[in-house]
Amino acid sequence: MNKSEGPLTGVREFLKGKKAYITAAIGLAGAVVAWADGQIDGVALLAAVWAAAQACFIRAGIGNEVAKANGE
């Protein structure tokens, strides 16, 4: 069976270019839950927000550079 013929092809196509954003959102949601539960303080929450934002900005930058390199 070829990789492109597998049953998860649709899922892979849907996730293409979105995995970093989904991971950042899950991490941010986890940090908010931990903050609301009192497990982390506001500084740790801000650090998690900053880390999630960095992941998104880096992913967007990589996507833009790849598009430029491909002439899109």
Render pLDDT for 15-63 as a digit per residue (tens, 0 to 9).
888 999 999 999 999 999 999 999 999 999 999 999 999 999 999 999 8
Residue 6 is assigned to a structural domain of this protein = no
Residue 52 is assigned to a structural domain of this protein = yes
Residue 41 is assigned to a structural domain of this protein = yes
Residue 57 is assigned to a structural domain of this protein = yes
Domain range enclosing 36: 20-69
pLDDT at 3: 56
Tally of residues, the chain = 72
**If we measure between CA atoms, which residue out of 56, 43, 57, 49 comes closest to residue 27?**
49
How many domains are there within the chain? Answer: 1
pLDDT at 66: 87
Distances (CA, A) of 4 to 12, 13, 14, 26, 67: 10, 10, 14, 28, 23
If one counts every other C-beta atom within 10 angstroms of the C-beta of residue 27, the result is: 15
pLDDT at 1: 47
pLDDT at 14: 87
